[in-house]
Amino acid sequence: MESWKRLLDGGVLSLVESCSHDAVYYGAVNVFLRDEPNPFGSVDVWICRKCRDLFCEDKRWGLTDLSPEVGFPKRDEGSKWGVLICLINNEVKWELVEAKPGKRFEHSCVDGKACPLLVNGDYSVSTTEAPSPNKHSLFVVDGYVNRSIVVK
């Protein structure tokens, strides 16, 4: 028998269960550079038919290597999947990250330098040390399923 725990999250009652997930394909998020006709990456999004939890897998054009891990990447309870964009001039680096307001993590920028970032309450990101010359943006996957992210 599955155990349910009721949580009050930002005024919205949600149900969280210990679930043996049954994931089905839900959609994709394509990542484009403005004025370019082809995406430079995408995120496949899967959803559990039982608990509605999302699972994501990034796809990079030109890379055909298989991941050494089997299954979907894990994320902590209460966090969301996000696409982090790092932009310097017209060079772009992107990655799938786990985002939760208040979470700090280190990101390796396009120029190879480490940049500590903080996820703000509105899911934007800011540097936690000296301002970076790079532009960082975070897009929460939930809001972009079957849509595109256009990097400007």
Return phi, psi of residue 111, to 5°: -80, 5
| Residue 69: per-residue pLDDT | 56
What is the separation of C-alpha 47 from the centre of its chain, rounded to a whole number of angstroms? Answer: 14
| Residue 120: per-residue pLDDT | 94
Report yes or no: 9 and 19 within 8 Å, Cβ to Cβ.
Answer: no
Higher pLDDT, 104 or 64: 104
Residue 66 has pLDDT above 80, yes or no: no
Q: Would you place residue 36 in the very low, low, confident or very high pLDDT band (cuts 50, 70, 90)?
A: confident
